[in-house]
Structure 1
Amino acid sequence: MGEIPIRCFAVSVVVIRKRTAGYEVLLLRRNHTLIGEWCQVAGGIEDGEKAWETALREVREETGLNCDFLYSADICEQFYEADRNAISMLPVFVGVVDAEQTVFINDEHSEFQWVSFAEAMEMVPFAGQRHVLKHVEAEFVNRKPTGHLLIHEMSRKI
């Protein structure tokens, strides 16, 4: 009997900032894979790296931003990849950044936008992304997240 492997090789990070009008989420337009699509920060876990360390590194590499707070979103982004015949599961993190930080995208992206959650849900191409965005808005914007989801190790690492 055949089996579909489940892979967990990368992370997904929803980067948010608080503005006077409310919270905004950062979306990046892809240059290489999923060319032209709007996505959140994502990237592969390197050898010896913890998933939360990958999240912080990918935010820095892809956007130039430093997270003031990093939370486990308590959810995984999951999707089937036909070319690999595998199910990918990515732990999702929420990176909270200072509203005054400047974004510097790397060559993986052609542009960026800070948008409302409603706008983000219209821009992203996949239902799984919309599910993640709805969850982050409900659990990290509309209510105060539980302190148990805060990545405490972050302050010792930086």
Structure 2
Amino acid sequence: MNRVDVVYSVILKKGKVLMVKNKKYDNWTLPGGGVEKGETLEQAAQREVWEETGLNVKVGKLLTVNEAFRQKENNHVLFFTFLAEAFDGEVVVQDKGGILDAEWKDLSFANEAVPYYEGGIEGLLETSLSYNFQGVQA
């Protein structure tokens, strides 16, 4: 299996979380994507947020690490989710080929769309770093 690192960012504003709708999978996720060769996790998180939402962010603490085997793609994926704070920009999709939309969503919506976090988004914010194996995925 190929090792793939993916970063996500939790960006909050007035009790909502910024989410993006991915074209490839037709689903809502946190802003994020693959770490490029020679890029740190923090750099990848900043780049992915900008590409998908038009926002510049300061990446904060690491909230969780999740792991999955994606057999269909022959990938062993590690997902790193960070807390991030927007300091500049407007929400505008830059990567129109990969992202259909970017919107501030209620936490209940986010928790249903991305059920990989034990305790939901709120739980990530209240606890120390956690690890969750997401299982073997087809």
Q: Which TM-score bucket, shorter chain as reference?
A: 0.7 to 0.9
User: In 2, Cα distance between the equivalents of 1:64 and 1:16?
Assistant: 15
Q: Tell me, what secondary structure is at the counterpart of 1:128?
A: coil
Structure 1 equivalent of residue 101 of structure 2: 111
Does the alignment pair 1:127 with 2:115? yes
What is the CA distance between 1:111 and its match in structure 2? 1.5
Alignment of structure 1 residues 24-39 onto 2, 5 Å? 24-32=16-24, 34=25, 36-39=26-29
Structure 2 equivalent of residue 47 of structure 1: 37
Structure 2 equivalent of residue 79 of structure 1: 68
1:10 to 6, 9, 16: 6
User: In 2, Cα distance between the equivalents of 1:101 and 1:27?
Assistant: 16
Structure with the higher fraction of residues in strand conformation: 2
Note closer, same or farther for the CA distance 1:6–1:55 as it changes in structure 2 (3 Å cut): same
Note closer, same or farther for the CA distance 1:94–1:16 as it changes in structure 2 (3 Å cut): same
User: In 2, Cα distance between the equivalents of 1:119 and 1:127?
Assistant: 10
User: In 1, Cα distance between the equivalents of 2:77 and 2:17?
Assistant: 23
Alignment of structure 1 residues 91-102 onto 2, 5 Å? 91-98=80-87, 101-102=89-90
Structure with the higher fraction of residues in helix conformation: 1
Alignment: residue pair count:
126
Root-mean-square deviation over aligned CA pairs: 2.5
Q: Is the 8 A contact 1:73 1:136 kept in 2?
A: no
* Structure of larger gyration radius: 1
User: In 2, Cα distance between the equivalents of 1:130 and 1:88?
Assistant: 18
Deviations 1:39-87 (A, max 9, x none): 11121212221110111111111111011x3213241132221213443
In structure 2, runs of 5+ residues without a counterpart are: 129-138
Q: Is the 8 A contact 1:75 1:132 kept in 2?
A: no
In structure 1, runs of 5+ residues without a counterpart are: 140-144, 146-158
